[in-house]
Amino acid sequence: MSSNLRMPPILENPKKILLLSGKRKSGKDFLAEKLKSILGEDCTVLRISEPIKKHYAEKCGVNFKELLGDGPFKEKYRKEMIVWGEQIRAEDPGYFCRLVCKNAQKTAFWIISDIRRKSDIHFFEQNYGNKMKSVRINTSKEIRESRGWVYTIGVDDVQSECDLDDYADWDVIVSNDGHYENDIDRILKLLD
Ligand SMILES: Nc1ncnc2c1ncn2[C@@H]1O[C@H](COP(=O)(O)OP(=O)(O)OP(=O)(O)O)[C@@H](O)[C@H]1O
């Protein structure tokens, strides 16, 4: 056997990275899971908040799985986690993005389902160039409220929730107000 045949394949993955952004309860995780169910094994859903939650759970002795879920536990600790995450980011804005990419499975598509800051977008632009596609999910206040959103000082009025309100360079903007099938098609086209 020639030594060439034993060379490991060059990893071209991920081929595309979808960044999902939107206000709380806009449906980022919901749409990420719908996309994953279509893309299957070729796709990994990643969350920048995951290493934050993991660290926070270990530090404070709380349940990591509960923090990841969509329930009251996450809401209870959200404010504290935001403050802690901001302290780390102040020194190194790419810290959590880098951690997520480093530990991610090398599938063809990555979906990052919780993009919250311009610095997150810049990280992916700088490191992955045109592979990165950004999606903003704009969902009405009324629908978000019907999904359990309650305006909370210290959460809804801080950078993690508002920094991307004035970002204007989205590849696709969707409204997840009820019917999402067309939105899914428009997002999938970004992966061509
Ligand atoms: N199109 C939809 N149809 C039905 N239910 C939806 C739809 N979009 C979202 N939901 C539901 O609304 C709730 C909030 O959605 P989701 O957790 O995806 O929001 P999120 O943007 O990820 O929120 P957060 O920023 O708080 O993590 C979930 O229970 C989800 O199943």
For range 2-17, the mean pLDDT: 63
Between 39 and 69, where is the model more confident? 39
Between 184 and 78, where is the model more confident? 184
For range 52-78, the mean pLDDT: 75
Between 60 and 170, where is the model more confident? 170
For ligand 1, mutation pick of 21, 29, 179 (most atoms within 8 Å of CB): 29
Reply yes or no on whether the pLDDT at 164 is more than 80. Answer: yes
Reply yes or no on whether the pLDDT at 124 is more than 90. Answer: yes
ipTM over 0.85: yes
Atom of ligand 1 nearest to the CA of 33: 18
Which phi-psi region, left, alpha or beta, contains residue 131 (left: φ > 0; alpha: ψ -120 to 50)? alpha
Question: What is the structure's pLDDT at 3?
Answer: 44
Reply yes or no on whether the pLDDT at 142 is more than 80. Answer: yes
Confidence of residue 158 (pLDDT cuts 50, 70, 90): very high
Confidence of residue 167 (pLDDT cuts 50, 70, 90): very high
Ligand 1 binding residues, C-beta < 6 A: 22, 24-30, 70, 147, 176, 180
Confidence of residue 12 (pLDDT cuts 50, 70, 90): low
Residue 27 marked as a ligand binder: yes
For range 37-45, the mean pLDDT: 97
Whether the Cβ atoms of residue 49 and residue 161 lie closer than 8 Å to each other? no
Whether the Cβ atoms of residue 171 and residue 54 lie closer than 8 Å to each other? no
Q: What is the DSSP string of the chain?
A: --GGGGSPPP----SEEEEEEESTTSSHHHHHHHHHHHHGGGEEEE-THHHHHHHHHHHHT--HHHHHSSSHHHHHHHHHHHHHHHHHHHH-TTHHHHHHHHHS---SEEEEEEE--HHHHHHHHHHHGGGEEEEEE---HHHHHHTT----TTTTTSHHHHTTTT----SEEE--SS--HHHHHHHHHTT-
Reply yes or no on whether the pLDDT at 73 is more than 90. Answer: no
For ligand 1, mutation pick of 37, 70, 150 (most atoms within 8 Å of CB): 70
Reply yes or no on whether the pLDDT at 172 is more than 50. Answer: yes
Q: Which of 85, 27, 101, 16 is nearest to 53 (CA)?
A: 85
Confidence of residue 6 (pLDDT cuts 50, 70, 90): low
For ligand 1, mutation pick of 33, 144, 147 (most atoms within 8 Å of CB): 147
Domains in the chain: boundaries: 14-184
Q: Residue 23's CB: how many other CB atoms inside 10 A? A: 21
The CATH H-level superfamily of 14-184 is: P-loop containing nucleotide triphosphate hydrolases (3.40.50.300)
Question: What is the structure's pLDDT at 86?
Answer: 85
Atom of ligand 1 nearest to the CA of 176: 1
Q: What's the token pair of residue 11?
A: 């990893």
